[in-house]
Amino acid sequence: MNRALPLVPDETAALLRAPWRMLESDHDVFMAEIHQMERLLKRHSSQKICPASLLERIDRFIQHFESHLGLHFKAEEKAVFPFLWRHAPHLKKPLQSLIVDHDGIRRTLAAWKRSFQKAKTPPKQRRNEMPLSGRGLELIRLLHAHVDAEARIMRQFPFKAD
């Protein structure tokens, strides 16, 4: 249907918020999982060897997170962020910094995954490196900061019709 009249402001605001709302539910789910993992890692951070149950939980977390993270970041980078900076050009630089964050999160996740693989090898074959829980907690810190930065940026987004 072809509209002759411009969108009413409330409808425009809802349309501009829609892409972000779509991803906010991902954030809620991710953050709930991340809080659980953070508690587990902190509980076991002083142990030199991770219990098998923790290794299994980390493995499931990494696989799940890796599969969903790529899709989430791609949606943000290819659709949501470009859409937002078209409607709020002053946010282009902060949104681009979130994309840089994505690269750091991907690298940290890959490093944690490598540490996880090494944690499954016999202790005599391991090199001295950051403990598995340390890498996981580093990833969690980055994710908390990233989600907080996204929320701050979204509070700056002008949800009014031009």
Paired tokens of 20: 């972000």
Task: Indicate the residue type of 83.
Answer: F
CATH of the domain at 21: 1.20.120
- In this predicted structure, what is the pLDDT of residue 29? 83
Q: How far are the Cα atoms of 11, 85, 146 from residue 157, in angstroms, in the given order?
A: 16, 9, 17
Q: Is residue 3 part of a domain?
A: no
DSSP, res 47: -
Q: Cβ contacts of residue 131 below 8 Å, gap of 6+?
A: 45, 48, 115
**3-class DSSP state of 130:** coil
User: Positive or negative CA dihedral for 42, 43, 48, 49?
Assistant: negative
Residue 32 resides in a domain? yes
Does 140 fall in a domain?
Answer: yes
pLDDT tens for each residue of 33-65: 899 999 988 888 777 677 788 888 888 999 888
What is the domain extent for residue 85? Answer: 9-43+51-121+128-156
Please report the pLDDT score of residue 93 as a whole number. 92
Q: Report which of 53, 147, 160, 155 is spatially closest to residue 102, judged by C-alpha positions.
A: 147
Total number of domains in the chain:
1
Give 60-90 pLDDT, tens digit per residue.
Answer: 999 888 888 888 899 889 988 888 888 788 8
Residue 102 lies in a domain: yes
Whether residue 1 is contained in a domain is answered as: no
Q: State the Cα–Cα distance between residues 122 and 31, nearest whole angstrom.
A: 32
pLDDT mean across residues, the chain:
79
